[in-house]
Amino acid sequence: SAAPPRLGMEVMAPPLINALNGSSVKLSCTFNSCYKVENKQFSLNWTYQGCSNCSEELFLQFRTKIMNKQLDRFGNRVEFTGNPAKYDVSFTLKNVQLEDEGTYNCYVLNPPDRHRGHGKISLKVLTQELPKHDSTVAVIVGASVGGFLAVVILVLMVVKCVRRKKQQRLNTDDQKTEEEGKTDGEGNPDEGTK
């Protein structure tokens, strides 16, 4: 049985973000709502969870204005870079540390929408650029697709050439039969005159 369509707010956030240690990363969270954002009613909470069983720590909140909860974990490295009026509640985490790895929850409430929207992002902190095998996979896939297309083009060309040769044979056969028909036609009246 199909689930009933969800009415009201929907929150969109990438499920996984990779960030290089020491870099800045934007944790994107957007939402759609049938209602215009009114600062007096709108509310937003960003929380951090170090593990699946860990409790959520509130570090960013919007109640009529943005308030940073100065968690020792983040210090002043959190900057709100969204715009609630444009349905964007993203933030940027500066100077990413290995211990920033974990789950970031984005909770949005925009009355008169009744239910609170929730987005969840898993942040993975890398100590170096993504390994090269990722590009190798892309090269292999690209080469495979390219090779496949080359084979398809080759087959199409062969088929076209075969058809062209058959057509030429048919044309030459038609010409031969026409020529044979002409000689027969020319030969019969000669016999008739004798």
d(CA 94, CA 24): 4
Give the per-residue pLDDT at 3: 43
Give the per-residue pLDDT at 56: 95
Share of the chain above pLDDT 90, in %: 51
Rounded to the nearest integer, the mean pLDDT of the chain is: 81
Name the band, by pLDDT with cuts 50, 70 and 90, for residue 129.
confident
pLDDT of residue 139 exceeding 90, the answer is no
Which residue has better confidence, 190 or 16?
16
Average pLDDT over residues 9-32: 96
CATH topology (fold) of 10-126: Immunoglobulin-like (2.60.40)
Domain chopping of the chain, boundaries: 10-126
Give the per-residue pLDDT at 2: 46
Give the per-residue pLDDT at 73: 86
Give the per-residue pLDDT at 182: 60
Backbone angles phi, psi at 192, to 5 degrees: -65, -35
Question: Is 0.75 topped by the overall pTM?
Answer: no
Tell me which amino acid residue 135 is.
S
Q: Is 29:90 a contact under the CB 8 Å cutoff?
A: yes
Lowest mean pLDDT among 23-27, 81-85, 171-175: 171-175
Name the band, by pLDDT with cuts 50, 70 and 90, for residue 173.
confident
Angle at 36 between CA 35 and CA 40, to 5 degrees: 110
Name the nearest CA neighbour of 94 among 19, 16, 17, 15: 19
pLDDT of residue 86 exceeding 60, the answer is yes
